[in-house]
């Protein structure tokens, strides 16, 4: 008699932050850099730009654009990445408020990204 397989795939909606979903703590600065890099990379794809074209817009070189798109963010400051966002036409809004907890937390919110499944 053949073995019966259950190939059911369960898809669970995440919070939007895979690290939070997995219980992995990240440095807030690294989280912010990753969020900015995500939006820069998404903009490059959406506008169908080459890295050379983006480098010209950002007044930098193609190698730095490549680092951003590959998540190699150690050499970038948050300030520099913010300036890249501004050059690409983004506004950045910050909302600071008193936490109800003894220790505050850091959270990056952005417009949701639609993913086809």
For residue 46, is it within any domain?
yes
For residue 18, is it within any domain?
no
Instruction: Compute and round to an integer the Cα radius of gyration of the chain.
Output: 19
CB 116 within 8 A of CB 106: no
Helix (H, G, I), strand (E, B) or coil at 27: coil
For residue 70, is it within any domain?
yes
Number of domains in the chain: 1
What is the pLDDT tens value at each position of the chain, 117 positions in all? 677 777 888 888 887 767 778 888 778 899 899 999 999 999 999 999 999 999 999 999 999 999 999 999 999 999 999 999 999 999 988 888 888 988 887 777 766 555 444
Helix (H, G, I), strand (E, B) or coil at 90: coil
- CA nearest neighbour of 92 among 78, 74, 105, 71: 78
Under DSSP, the state recorded for 4 is P
For residue 21, is it within any domain?
no
The pLDDT of residue 68 is 98
CB 10 within 8 A of CB 56: no
């Amino acid at each position: 008699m053949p073995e019966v397989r259950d190939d059911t795939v369960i898809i669970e909606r995440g919070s939007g932050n895979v690290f939070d979903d997995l219980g992995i703590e990240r440095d807030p600065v690294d989280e912010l850099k990753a969020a900015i890099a995500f939006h820069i990379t998404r903009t490059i794809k959406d506008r169908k730009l080459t890295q050379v074209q983006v480098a010209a817009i950002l007044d930098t070189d193609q190698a730095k654009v490549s680092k951003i798109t590959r998540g190699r963010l150690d050499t970038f400051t948050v300030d520099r990445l913010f300036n890249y966002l501004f050059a690409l036409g983004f506004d950045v809004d910050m909302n600071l408020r008193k936490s109800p907890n003894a220790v505050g937390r850091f959270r990056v919110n952005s417009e949701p990204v639609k993913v086809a499944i």
